[in-house]
Chain A
């Protein structure tokens, strides 16, 4: 059998494998973007109701037993500038020009809550190699388990909202993020940020109910008075009268990356208050589509391995020379 023929066989086998490997990501069936579970729990944050009191930031610190963080010279009180390994929830401020009017894009100011969005199809869950970040199948809360975590920080890199954070200052650092106060539900509590919010800017409830509530607000006439619930949607009535804000006609989180369980309303365009523009297809779906097409059932690797084994079997002529045999040929 000639060398050339063997070479050509190798070319055919390896070429076939390469073509299969490259063509498949575009061909085979894709992993669809996941949707929220029907009983999904979440928050509705309405920036037009927020007065920037940061009671939610303090309450979050307290119930998660996180220490204060300082960004000023006189370390008088908790002043984190972003969510971190010790801050799971933060109210950030938007400033423009003279800052005269609340919720105005020009010469105005506005607030925005930063905390885990509890995505329908979370990138962090898809990224995590050890199932330390999982999505609860019933309520959809994205839960973190430090005992499983290897600290690779792929979740930190993957999240488009910059939410999972790592504790770099500790030799046993954990990933840190909002888990919607799931550790407090057994005591009859819900998310502390919503519990303490005096204006109902942060509202807790089933995401489907929160979405309906958000759409009700978008349909109201700006400047008129309307009733706004506080605390927990479907809980004890804590509603009150307030002025309807001048909303952007968009519920942030309705469809981003397949939707999130935390929804947001704002008077200022969302991209100006730190909320990224995301397509309706989740990055996790793209990633897992590629992953499953290449490795689903190990079909392709085994096929390529079979081809390679077949060719290698013919071509591998092990070296017979030993250290003490000066034969020098194989």
Chain B
């Protein structure tokens, strides 16, 4: 039973001080967010957001939930590589990626509550008699909730190790394979369904994005984004904690990412050609411009890290990670906001741009993620153990 017995460093806490410039900034941003949310819950969504009936969903949904959860696909993408494709050498990446995913998803789940106009009824979505299985949102909600639980369980060994709960860890280890399996299936389900959510909006969504293949687009790009985020996050963590970059892992990972990306590009343009929607990309319209920005961002990694020598350059891996994250953002923004137009209402139509308080809540959510990542990696065994630790 060779399995994936690859020698690699066990995870260990980074250590160091929790009070520093970065955590202080995060703390302030989180405080601002809490103040804004207090106003939102007392006076309603209109008091702090620019949401309107032409754009009933703004950045709290599109950024915090749709994009936030896609950014959080690192855990799923890496776990699939390690456990399903048995690439054990990537094992050191699992815990850090899982941690980022855990935060991304948990906050996406909490972020939904801020946006729900009648949030006290949220439990209806899980309750037979209320729940509507025909609704794509029902599937997304149930699946994301289940995945959050699965991820906390998958990650719990980090806590068990810290607190010496060997018995709990041993018990969990026995069912870990099933959690891992669930942890790959659930994201496949809801990441694709997040795309399906625009299908019922019908003619209101520009045909550049309104396609029956949108679930496949969202699924493929979520996996690609997962690897892109790992590239990004590994480089950032390495530079912030002055650790060495796991180049021997990131280099082949980048190659895998490019492979799936190539598949996506073929599917994306094949679909546009078959449906005859491509001419829309050549109209002098904002949607067409947004489409090309999205497309160029998806193509950029081939230019940045197309060659093996470029893939050995950490700066280029980082750039490619950023490009692919931006591309994923654009696809989701375009499908939900820029490509969306009700076409009804008063001339000259509806407009939406997020208000400052709206933006500050999204920033605050991001700050929670960064703060949580810092606290947990410094205090719990997440990142691979290094000879010299806790430089800060």
B130 on interface, CB distance cutoff 8 Å: yes
State whether A165 and B53 are in contact (beta carbons under 8 Å apart), knowing that A21-B219, A305-B182, A319-B10 are contacts in the complex.
yes
Please give the distance in Å from A286's CB to the nearest CB on chain B: 5
A294 on interface, CB distance cutoff 8 Å: yes
A283 on interface, CB distance cutoff 8 Å: yes
Segment of B111-119, B229-237, B284-292, B367-375 in the binding face? B111-119
A3 on interface, CB distance cutoff 8 Å: yes
Segment of A102-110, A144-152, A210-218, A262-270 in the binding face? A144-152
Establish whether residues B5 and A126, one from each chain, have CB atoms under 8 Å apart when the complex forms: no
Segment of B25-33, B43-51, B99-107, B319-327 in the binding face? B43-51
Residue in contact with A153 in the complex, picked from B47, B56, B122, B164, CB distance below 8 Å: B56
Contacts of B164 in A (CB 8 A): 322-324
Assembly CA distance A9 to B198 (angstroms)? 35
B242 on interface, CB distance cutoff 8 Å: no
Establish whether residues B137 and A127, one from each chain, have CB atoms under 8 Å apart when the complex forms: yes
Assembly CA distance A130 to B118 (angstroms)? 12
Assembly CA distance A149 to B122 (angstroms)? 8
State whether A322 and B169 are in contact (beta carbons under 8 Å apart), knowing that A10-B84, A126-B135, A127-B135 are contacts in the complex.
yes
Establish whether residues B83 and A158, one from each chain, have CB atoms under 8 Å apart when the complex forms: no
Assembly CA distance A161 to B201 (angstroms)? 11
Interface residues in A134-182 by Cβ distance below 8 A to B read 146-154, 156-162, 165-174
Contacts of A257 in B (CB 8 A): 202
Main SS of chain B's interface residues?
helix
Contacts of B83 in A (CB 8 A): 311-312, 315-316
Q: Please give me the residue from chain B that is nearest to A290 by CB atom.
A: B196
Interface 0/1 of B133-150, CB less than 8 Å to A: 111111101000000000
Establish whether residues B118 and A315, one from each chain, have CB atoms under 8 Å apart when the complex forms: no
B351 on interface, CB distance cutoff 8 Å: no
Establish whether residues B135 and A129, one from each chain, have CB atoms under 8 Å apart when the complex forms: yes
Residue in contact with B2 in the complex, picked from A1, A10, A159, A312, CB distance below 8 Å: A1
Segment of B185-193, B244-252, B294-302, B307-315 in the binding face? B185-193
Residue in contact with A291 in the complex, picked from B121, B130, B136, B203, CB distance below 8 Å: B136
Residue in contact with A162 in the complex, picked from B53, B122, B176, CB distance below 8 Å: B53
State whether A151 and B119 are in contact (beta carbons under 8 Å apart), knowing that A129-B138, A301-B189 are contacts in the complex.
yes
Tell me which of B1, B54, B115, B199 has the highest count of chain A C-beta atoms within 10 A of its own C-beta.
B199
Establish whether residues B86 and A315, one from each chain, have CB atoms under 8 Å apart when the complex forms: yes
A260 on interface, CB distance cutoff 8 Å: no
Please give the distance in Å from A17's CB to the nearest CB on chain B: 8
B34 on interface, CB distance cutoff 8 Å: no
Establish whether residues A84 and B189, one from each chain, have CB atoms under 8 Å apart when the complex forms: no
Interface residues in B6-55 by Cβ distance below 8 A to A read 7-11, 41-47, 49, 51-54
Assembly CA distance A130 to B138 (angstroms)? 8
A2 on interface, CB distance cutoff 8 Å: yes
Establish whether residues B53 and A166, one from each chain, have CB atoms under 8 Å apart when the complex forms: yes
Please give the distance in Å from A224's CB to the nearest CB on chain B: 34
Residue in contact with B137 in the complex, picked from A1, A152, A165, A311, CB distance below 8 Å: A152
B239 on interface, CB distance cutoff 8 Å: no
Interface 0/1 of B71-89, CB less than 8 Å to A: 0000000001011111110
A249 on interface, CB distance cutoff 8 Å: no
Establish whether residues A312 and B219, one from each chain, have CB atoms under 8 Å apart when the complex forms: no
Contacts of B346 in A (CB 8 A): 81-82
Assembly CA distance A80 to B109 (angstroms)? 36
Establish whether residues B135 and A330, one from each chain, have CB atoms under 8 Å apart when the complex forms: no
Please give the distance in Å from A148's CB to the nearest CB on chain B: 6
Assembly CA distance A207 to B188 (angstroms)? 43
Establish whether residues B342 and A162, one from each chain, have CB atoms under 8 Å apart when the complex forms: yes
Residue in contact with B84 in the complex, picked from A3, A315, A323, CB distance below 8 Å: A315
Contact-residue bracket for chain B = 35 or more
Interface 0/1 of A99-133, CB less than 8 Å to B: 00000000000000000000000010011111110
Residue in contact with B9 in the complex, picked from A128, A311, A328, CB distance below 8 Å: A328
Contacts of A6 in B (CB 8 A): 3, 86
State whether A150 and B57 are in contact (beta carbons under 8 Å apart), knowing that A127-B136, A287-B200, A309-B177 are contacts in the complex.
no
Contacts of B202 in A (CB 8 A): 123, 158, 160, 257, 278, 282-283, 286
Residue in contact with B45 in the complex, picked from A25, A173, A283, A291, CB distance below 8 Å: A173
B213 on interface, CB distance cutoff 8 Å: yes
Please give the distance in Å from A153's CB to the nearest CB on chain B: 4
B181 on interface, CB distance cutoff 8 Å: yes
State whether A330 and B5 are in contact (beta carbons under 8 Å apart), knowing that A152-B137, A318-B176 are contacts in the complex.
yes
Assembly CA distance A1 to B3 (angstroms)? 8
9 further interface pairs, Cβ-Cβ under 8 Å (given A150-B118, A301-B189)? A1-B2, A148-B121, A152-B137, A156-B53, A278-B202, A315-B4, A321-B10, A321-B161, A329-B5
Please name the 5 residue pairs, one residue from A and one from B, whose CB atoms are nearest each other, closest first. Answer: A151-B117, A283-B202, A168-B46, A162-B344, A151-B118
B contacts, CB < 8 Å to A:
1-5, 7-11, 41-47, 49, 51-54, 56-57, 80, 82-88, 91, 115-119, 121-122, 124-125, 129-139, 141, 157, 161-162, 164, 166, 169, 173, 176-178, 180-182, 184-185, 188-189, 192-193, 196-197, 199-204, 212-213, 215-216, 219, 267, 340, 342-346, 381, 385
Q: 13 A-B pairs, CB-CB below 8 angstroms?
A: A82-B345, A85-B53, A131-B131, A148-B121, A149-B118, A174-B118, A276-B343, A287-B200, A290-B196, A291-B134, A309-B181, A329-B7, A329-B8
